[in-house]
Amino acid sequence: MRILQVVNDMHRAGLETMLMNYYRNIDRNEIQFDFLTHRPYKSDYDDEIISMGGKMYYAPRLYPQNYLKYFKWMKDFFEAHTEYQIIHSHIDSMSYLPLLAAKKAKIPVRIAHSHNTSIDKDLKYPLKQLFRTQITNVANEYCACGKEAGRFLFGNSNFMIIPNAIETEKFVYQEEIRNTIRERLNLSDNFVVGHVGRLAYQKNHDFLIEIFAELYKMNPNVRLLLVGTGEKEKELRLKVEKKGLQEVVLFLGNRNDVNEIYQAMDVFVMPSFFEGIPVTGIEAQFSGLTCLFSDQVPKEVDFSGNCKFIPLSEGAKKWAEQVMEEGNLEERLQKSQMVNGSNYNIQNAHTILEEYYRKLKEKI
């Protein structure tokens, strides 16, 4: 059974990492993933996918001026690849386009998967809102990372929840790794606030920097780690410089050792404008970190009892005061080990997706 996974690209980000976690752990003798991306370049995970027997396809980008070219490409693709009976699209409301092409090609199982609870206000925002209202006309199976994300894209339709599961053994707290990473980053004696996520509007880094500026006034020993890249990086670096914080805010870029970077943190802070179930929030909890989320992050993410949700309206100073109360190292290993039985552990969750695909295959 070959499942065509439809994504934007396969760089190291939350959705993409979640897909790789499932791909590494499913029974690949029975179920194989192939990936159709919408970027004309190789991404971080492409080589690993190919090494595990997967295939990579590169479709035209989803720009309005490209739509005729896109549908011609997709028509030719499905005519050449009749092996795909299940297409699983992960690009939220934009899934309308590949699933419309799949419906025209008479692909029997067309899965739309919701990973968010809102839409980025970019140039395609009006189109995304339109496609969101039409998604159930082209998909015939619905998945989501959580209840709020499912209701956002599918309304009252029934949907299957697929947990944003991770490879937990990589994230369990280890003091030795913590000390090594903190020494390497010159953070040995600092209180470290951490964030992992795309440097994009959704994640609200502008406010995170405001929070950190208030923290720094309270305690000059604090440091901020930002893991990730994105379209707002230049703007955020300028903001940090204007506030005179360039020596205490570390932009670490995309990392293949993010599991170890969590160990160096004392608290995880995510003041997002909206989220589905953030994979990085799951990873942080498995690392034993207390997580401070905005009230716009679904409370479903808190499977450890170690999360707090603060209204964005509280302001930067109130957030900073809450951050300063966290970071108890004595309880961290215990917190990290307590959560292994969760469905967010890929060792438990991969069977959920396998069984889902098996049932879909029986319908074909």
116 pLDDT band, cuts 50/70/90, is very high
Within 10-146, where are the H helices? Answer: 14-25, 46-51, 67-80, 96-104, 125-138
CA distance 289 to 247: 24
Domain with CATH 3.40.50.2000 in the chain: 2-164+346-363, 168-338
Contact 257, 225 (CB under 8 A): no
* Composition of the chain by helix, strand, coil, percent to 5: 45, 15, 35
pLDDT exceeds 80 at position 347: yes
pLDDT of 158: 97
pLDDT of 121: 78
Q: For residue range 6-56, what is the model confidence (pLDDT) as tens digits?
A: 999 999 888 999 999 999 999 999 999 999 999 999 999 999 999 999 999
CA distance 224 to 349: 32
340 pLDDT band, cuts 50/70/90, is low
pLDDT exceeds 90 at position 363: no
pLDDT of 200: 94
pLDDT of 362: 93
CA distance to 77, 250, 258, per residue, from 173 (Å): 45, 22, 13
Torsions phi, psi of 23, nearest 5?
Answer: -60, -40
Q: Does domain 2-164+346-363 have CATH number 3.40.50.1010?
A: no
pLDDT exceeds 70 at position 341: no
Q: For residue range 203-234, what is the model confidence (pLDDT) as tens digits?
A: 999 999 999 999 999 999 999 999 999 999 99
Q: In the CATH hierarchy, which fold is given to the domain comprising 168-338?
A: Rossmann fold (3.40.50)
